[in-house]
Amino acid sequence: MYSDIASKFLIKWLVLAFFIGALSGLASGFFLYSLEFVTNFREGNNWIIWLLPFGGLIIGYGYHVYGKEVVKGNNLIFEEYAEPKKCIPFKMMPLVLFGTLITHLFGGSAGREGTAVQMGATIADQFTKWFPLSNEDRKIILICGISAGFASVFGTPLAGAIFAIEVLFFSKINYKSIYPSFLVAYIAYFTVEFLPVHHTYYTISFVPNISLQNLFWAFLVGIPFGLTAMLFSRTTHWWGEIFSKYIVFPPLRPFLGGIIIAVAVFFMGTTKFIGLGIPTILDSFETKQLVYVFLLKILFTGFTLGAGFKGGEVTPLFFVGATLGSFLSLYIPLPTALLAGMGFVAVFSGATHTPIACTVMGMELFGLECGLFIGIACLVSYLFSGTIGIYSTQIIGGVKGDIYKKFKKTTFENL
């Protein structure tokens, strides 16, 4: 009896994971190819940045007229997971896909994770229309969509599977979701591997010996990584509130925001702080960066996303973390590449409250040798990043949630 139930469960999710993973992988492959194309076109034709306001107007108008139900993006996915109500409209996928491509084509500062996760979750949730699935199954479906999108866009299947579970952990995760999450992550990952697209690879050539002194430095740098993650999250939310408060008509927000970004890029004379910023991330592993680099990326990304442009936050978080770690190598006696790699994933850990997934991601990207250094930095960053992350509807609990609740209570009582 029990073996029959288990067999049916395994077969059902094997079939669903195959289709969700393959379709999400194909969608991510198309997205990555298109993103590389529009980025190369913009870098070869910088005049196009002056069209950013009109690109923003197209995005804003499209969501205002056709996408009011899906404008919340990743937060809509988290809401549907916490309280399942209705299937995510398929329109979310084309809107976020083309909105992100327009953002990058014309010079906004954004990432790609949010787009891939939304596409994956949208594709996955459509299966609830075609199969008789319970609310419990639908939650697993959404986890599969997040896992497939993350794993395929970054080329990190282990981290993608864990991220999908960990980011929703305090929303009462069902342990039945572990098998489908890992399965779909690898299917999506290998689907992209078969396509003519390439992920970015990073190298840490030297990892120092594990000693109390070196581990102390790893602990210490986790603090500024966490505080920077908090600054990034709060800046993005703050700009969103400012635009919403003072510009009533939504399509005008990215239009006016686009004008300001285009003028800023023109007077700065560099495109370093727009787009994904992959060249600067790679350079951070070899060349010590200056302090203003990560701060300007926070400003540009928060302003871009707050104005209503589309894309993710994660690659900008990689940029911020890598350049901050590279800058700290001026003062911290650890290799520049190691500190850049630690910051790369640790700032992401603090902003998404996912230290386990980020540690695994660091080992997938940089090698097992730096795992302990990365793990310490990710954990400390997670603890020092506060309870407000890039996902406003994410539920924060556990030890961290308890610590901040007690801190707030004690602070207000003393006042």
Domains of the chain: 2-193 (1.10.3080.10), 212-403 (1.10.3080.10)
pLDDT at residue 172 greater than cutoff 50: yes
Token pair of 38, please? 């529009």
pTM for the model stands at 0.94
pLDDT digits (tens, 9 = 90+) for 222-263: 999 999 999 999 999 999 999 999 999 999 999 999 999 999
Q: What is the pLDDT of residues 16-71, one digit of tens each?
A: 999 999 999 999 999 999 999 999 999 999 999 999 999 999 999 999 999 999 99
pLDDT for 392? 84
| pLDDT above 50: residue 267 | yes
What is the tens place of the pLDDT at every residue in 268-316? 999 999 999 999 999 999 999 999 999 999 999 999 999 999 998 999 9
Residue 398: the pLDDT is 64
pLDDT higher than 60, residue 412: no
* Reduced 3-state DSSP string for 218-271: HHHHHHHHHHHHHHHHHHHHHHHHHHHHHCCCCCHHHHHHHHHHHHHHHHHCCC
CA-to-CA dists, residue 318 to 108, 136, 173, 228, angstroms: 16, 33, 27, 12
| Ramachandran area for residue 386 (φ above 0: left; ψ -120 to 50: alpha; else beta) | left
What's the pLDDT at 171?
60
pLDDT surpasses 70 at 405: no
Confidence of residue 377 (pLDDT cuts 50, 70, 90): very high
- Whether 320 has a pLDDT exceeding 60, the answer reads yes
For residue 97 the two structure tokens come to: 């896909």
Min mean pLDDT across 109-113, 126-130, 133-137 is at 133-137
Identify the pLDDT of residue 8. Answer: 80
pLDDT band at 10 (very low <50, low <70, confident <90, very high): confident
Percent of the chain with pLDDT over 70: 93
Query: Cα separation of 270 and 21, whole Å?
Result: 38
Q: What percent of the chain has pLDDT over 90?
A: 80
Q: Confidence class of residue 93 from pLDDT cuts 50, 70 and 90?
A: very high
Answer for the pair 49, 106: CB distance below 8 angstroms, yes or no. yes
Q: Quick one: pLDDT band at residue 9, thresholds 50, 70, 90?
A: confident
pLDDT classification of 176: cutoffs 50, 70, 90: confident
Sign of CA dihedral 332, 333, 337, 338: negative
Average pLDDT over the chain reads 92
pLDDT band at 394 (very low <50, low <70, confident <90, very high): confident
Residue type, 119: M
Around 204, how many Cα atoms within 13 Å sit in the side-chain half-sphere?
29
